[in-house]
């Protein structure tokens, strides 16, 4: 038997107040994600500057100028995560804005979106990695490769901060109905993904150097296309599968290219200012190119436009959009490796003058395709877990 | 209980303050090692107030063995030995109030191994320079595999978390379908 009763006016008011509080909570969390993105950007610019500083000037102490910038990015991400977790915990104690539906309990005390715990843990690992990196340099010298354990730890810690921020935005995205906040969250997701991709691709710079050429049982191949195909497929497929916003991949690519351009402007300027201020001399064989943005791909925009177009056409025709995006992501990521070949110049000019770059790229193709497939697979898993996150 | 916690906190803060003051006090103590060197016309003593170790600052003093007739100017740079992968590091110097014409200095030795303290002196008898060897001790080595196991922690954490969340999402989806 159905029981119907008029809704009391007071209950309607309470619902409206609850919605307003939830909206305020969403705005707070999106603002928090923005702050985390800014901290990640500080780290990214500091790290790109540091990658230039090492071969150009050398590391004469732990707290060099680029280190101060990248460390401030790590410290800010940790402090922002902590502040947001404490704020949400306090709000949960105080009232109705934060509860089981939009937050995760940790250690029986803290209550916050799960992404903030991930971002905070990433910042903590980054802070731990720095003294370990200093120790590694003490043992093995100032020119240890970018692919040394604690360089990888510092960079992947900040990738973890980026992933945490993506989860924090996704949890809002999955609860929001279409509207202004929804659109902001969608665009915010694409922007943070571009920042996270740029942070991950800091590691790509080493592939333009001696270590970029590998060999298994005499079978020579280059690492740059493999790493690029993996990262591009991951980002392109991931952004479309999570946001469902037309043009999301293109927004991400444009932000990525803006970061690339920003680094081209910032790094030489910062080098000049700091070298003059501290009275340093440039080392012999200092790189002439700006190492990090030089390694960043430019084909990302063309690839993103194709992936967005494929997603749009597939959805319009009622086809299985996700599968079409997956195929487009893999194909464009592999094709991008034929366009972006900074390694071809540096490897031939400085390390392997007789290297046949065309033949080496073709020999690398099976690995490149495999890496793109793994990247797309990882994107599916990432999208699945992001789409399932509400707390 | 509360009082004991208060005292414990004070003790920790006091300990930290002592550790910080340790470096400052180091140069007030007797030197750990002294070396007599001749830098051109000047007979000098170089004193080390801290152990030379990679990744740590070296505290030192340079003083003429006899009071100079005029003002002395110094410039000190730590220059890495041929097998040390590092760049020259400039020392920061300040006048030594205990030794006329002397200076005290700090220089960071970022990498362990053989270094040279390159001392440039300019005084009433002209200018000259000399290299004084310093061996920066290495910290205990961490095996490469352990370094990588620690270094890849964030990647394991990201992969584990994403997999766990994806599984959780699938279970929730299956539960919703079952209903």
Residues forming beta bridges with residue B92, ordered by sequence position: B106
The rounded distance, in Å, linking the Cα atoms of A166 and A142 is: 34
For residue A153, give how far its alpha carbon lies from the nearest alpha carbon of chain B (Å). 4
Residues in B closer than 8 angstroms to A157, CB to CB, are 154
Question: Contact at 8 Å (CB) between A34 and A188?
Answer: yes
Q: pLDDT digit string (tens) for B93-146?
A: 999 988 888 999 999 999 999 999 999 999 888 899 999 999 999 988 889 899
In this predicted structure, what is the pLDDT of residue A82? 96
Q: Which of A335, A332, A338 is nearest to A358 (CA)?
A: A338
The rounded distance, in Å, linking the Cα atoms of A236 and B138 is: 46
For residue A191, give how far its alpha carbon lies from the nearest alpha carbon of chain B (Å). 20
Q: Looking at the complex, does the CB of residue B50 fall below 8 Å from at least one CB of chain A?
A: no
Torsion of CA A156, A158, A159, A163, to 10 degrees: 140
Contact at CB, B154 and A118, closer than 8 angstroms: no
Residues forming beta bridges with residue B59, ordered by sequence position: B106
At residue B14 the predicted structure's pLDDT band, cuts being 50, 70 and 90, is low
Phi, psi of A175 (to 5 degrees): -105, -15
In this predicted structure, what is the pLDDT of residue A8? 38
The rounded distance, in Å, linking the Cα atoms of B11 and B25 is: 20
Q: pLDDT digit string (tens) for B76-97?
A: 999 999 999 999 999 999 999 8
Scan for tokens 């031939």, then name that residue: A348
Residues in A closer than 8 angstroms to B162, CB to CB, are 163, 381-382, 385
Neighbours of B61 (CB within 10 A): 20
Q: Which CB contacts under 8 angstroms, 24+ apart, belong to A10-18?
A: A18/A96
Residues in A closer than 8 angstroms to B164, CB to CB, are 385
At residue B6 the predicted structure's pLDDT band, cuts being 50, 70 and 90, is low
In this predicted structure, what is the pLDDT of residue B24? 47
Contact at CB, B55 and A62, closer than 8 angstroms: yes
In this predicted structure, what is the pLDDT of residue B172? 79
Helices of type H across B27-107:
none
- Provide the angle, in degrees to the nearest 10, between the axes of the packed helices A357-387 and B153-178: 50
Q: Which of A217, A216, A300 is nearest to A254 (CA)?
A: A300
Whole-angstrom CA distances from A21 to A26, A92, A182 are 9, 12, 16
In this predicted structure, what is the pLDDT of residue A6? 37
The rounded distance, in Å, linking the Cα atoms of A52 and A290 is: 7
Question: Contact at 8 Å (CB) between A267 and A52?
Answer: yes
Residues in B closer than 8 angstroms to A162, CB to CB, are none
- Residue B176: pLDDT over 70: yes
In this predicted structure, what is the pLDDT of residue B69? 81
Contact at CB, A57 and B148, closer than 8 angstroms: no
Scan for tokens 């043009």, then name that residue: A247
In this predicted structure, what is the pLDDT of residue A180? 80
Q: Looking at the complex, does the CB of residue A141 fall below 8 Å from at least one CB of chain B?
A: yes
For residue B26, give how far its alpha carbon lies from the nearest alpha carbon of chain A (Å). 20
Mutate to test the interface with B, among A101, A149, A170 (most CBs of B within 10 A): A149
The rounded distance, in Å, linking the Cα atoms of A90 and A296 is: 42
In this predicted structure, what is the pLDDT of residue A69? 97
Ordered DSSP codes for A83-146: HHHHHHHHHHHHSSSSSTTT-EEETTTEEE-HHHHHHHHHHHHHHHHHHHHHHHHHHH-TT--T
Question: Contact at 8 Å (CB) between A125 and B153?
Answer: yes
Out of A138, A167, A389, name the one closest to residue B139 (CB): A138
In this predicted structure, what is the pLDDT of residue B9? 57
Q: pLDDT digit string (tens) for A183-207?
A: 899 999 999 999 999 999 999 999 9
Contact at CB, B148 and A135, closer than 8 angstroms: no
In this predicted structure, what is the pLDDT of residue A322? 79
Mind listing the pLDDT tens digit of every residue in chain A (391 residues)? 333 333 333 334 445 555 666 678 888 889 999 999 999 999 999 999 999 999 999 888 889 999 999 999 999 999 999 999 999 999 888 876 777 778 888 888 898 999 999 999 999 999 999 999 999 999 998 888 999 999 999 999 999 999 999 999 999 888 877 778 888 999 999 999 999 999 999 999 999 999 999 999 889 999 999 999 999 999 999 999 998 788 999 999 999 999 999 999 999 999 999 999 988 889 888 898 999 999 999 999 999 999 999 999 888 887 666 788 999 999 999 999 999 999 999 999 999 999 999 999 999 999 999 999 999 999 999 998 998 887 7
The rounded distance, in Å, linking the Cα atoms of A49 and A69 is: 9
Q: Looking at the complex, does the CB of residue B25 fall below 8 Å from at least one CB of chain A?
A: no
Residues in B closer than 8 angstroms to A142, CB to CB, are 85-87, 110-111
Neighbours of B1 (CB within 10 A): 5
In this predicted structure, what is the pLDDT of residue A94? 83
In the numeric block, which tokens belong to residue A263? 């680094």
Identify each DSSP E strand in chain A by its residue range.
104-106, 110-112, 213-216, 219-222
CA-based angle A250:A205:A197, to the nearest 5? 30
Question: Contact at 8 Å (CB) between A103 and A92?
Answer: yes
Tally A–B CB contacts below 8 A: 130
For residue B3, give how far its alpha carbon lies from the nearest alpha carbon of chain A (Å). 26
Which percentage of chain B shows pLDDT scores above 90?
52
Average pLDDT in chain B: 84
pTM above 0.95, yes or no: no
Question: Contact at 8 Å (CB) between A88 and A102?
Answer: no
Phi, psi of A141 (to 5 degrees): 100, 175
In this predicted structure, what is the pLDDT of residue A266? 97
In this predicted structure, what is the pLDDT of residue A3? 38
């Amino acid at each position: 038997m159905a029981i119907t009763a008029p809704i009391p006016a007071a209950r309607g008011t309470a619902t409206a107040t609850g919605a307003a509080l939830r909206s305020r909570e969403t705005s707070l969390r999106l603002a928090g994600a923005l702050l985390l993105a800014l901290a990640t950007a500080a780290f990214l610019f500091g790290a790109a500057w540091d990658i230039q500083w090492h071969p150009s000037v050398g590391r004469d102490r732990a707290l060099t100028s680029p280190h101060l910038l990248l460390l401030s990015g790590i410290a800010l991400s940790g402090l922002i995560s902590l502040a947001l977790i404490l704020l949400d915990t306090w709000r949960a104690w105080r009232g109705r804005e934060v509860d089981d539906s939009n937050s995760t309990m940790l250690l029986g005390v803290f209550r916050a979106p799960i992404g903030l715990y991930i971002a905070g843990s990433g910042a903590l690992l980054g802070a731990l990695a720095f003294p370990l990196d200093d120790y590694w340099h003490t043992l093995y010298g100032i020119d240890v490769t970018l692919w040394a354990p604690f360089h990888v730890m510092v960079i992947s810690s900040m990738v973890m901060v980026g992933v945490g921020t993506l989860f924090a935005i996704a949890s809002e995205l999955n609860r929001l109905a279409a509207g202004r906040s929804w659109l902001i969250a969608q665009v915010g997701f694409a922007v943070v993904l571009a920042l996270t991709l740029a942070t991950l691709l800091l590691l790509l710079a080493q592939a333009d150097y001696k270590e970029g050429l590998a060999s298994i049982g005499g079978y020579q191949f280059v690492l740059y296309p493999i790493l690029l195909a993996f990262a591009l497929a991951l980002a392109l497929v991931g952004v479309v599968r999570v946001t469902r916003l037309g043009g999301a991949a293109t927004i991400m690519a444009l932000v990525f290219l803006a970061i690339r351009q920003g680094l081209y402007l910032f790094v030489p300027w910062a080098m000049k200012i700091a070298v003059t201020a501290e009275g340093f001399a440039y080392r012999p064989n200092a790189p002439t190119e700006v190492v990090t943005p030089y390694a960043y791909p430019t084909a990302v925009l063309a690839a993103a436009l194709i992936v967005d177009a494929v997603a749009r056409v597939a959805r319009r025709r009622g086809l299985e959009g996700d599968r079409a995006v997956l195929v487009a992501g893999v194909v464009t990521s592999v094709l991008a490796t034929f366009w972006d070949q900074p390694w071809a110049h540096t490897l031939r000019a400085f390390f392997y003058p007789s290297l046949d770059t065309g033949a080496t790229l073709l020999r690398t193709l099976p690995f490149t395709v495999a890496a793109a497939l793994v990247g797309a697979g990882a994107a599916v898993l990432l999208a699945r877990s992001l789409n399932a996150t509400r707390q | 209980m509360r009082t004991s916690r208060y005292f414990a906190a004070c003790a920790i803060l006091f300990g930290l303050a002592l550790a910080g003051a340790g470096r400052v006090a180091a140069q007030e103590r007797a030197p750990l090692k002294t070396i007599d060197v001749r830098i051109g016309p000047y007979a000098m003593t170089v004193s080390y107030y801290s152990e030379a170790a990679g990744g740590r600052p070296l505290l030192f003093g340079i003083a003429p063995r006899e009071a100079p007739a005029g003002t002395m100017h110094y410039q000190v740079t730590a220059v890495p030995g041929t097998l040390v992968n590092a760049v020259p590091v400039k020392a920061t110097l300040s006048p030594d109030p205990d030794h006329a014409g002397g200076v005290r200095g700090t220089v960071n030795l970022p990498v362990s191994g053989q270094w040279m303290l390159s001392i440039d002196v300019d005084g009433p008898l002209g200018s000259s320079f000399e290299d004084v060897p310093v061996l920066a001790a290495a910290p205990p080595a961490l095996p490469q595999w352990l370094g990588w196991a620690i270094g890849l922690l964030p990647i394991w954490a990201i992969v584990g978390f994403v997999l766990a969340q994806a599984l959780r999402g699938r279970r929730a989806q299956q539960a919703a379908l079952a209903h």
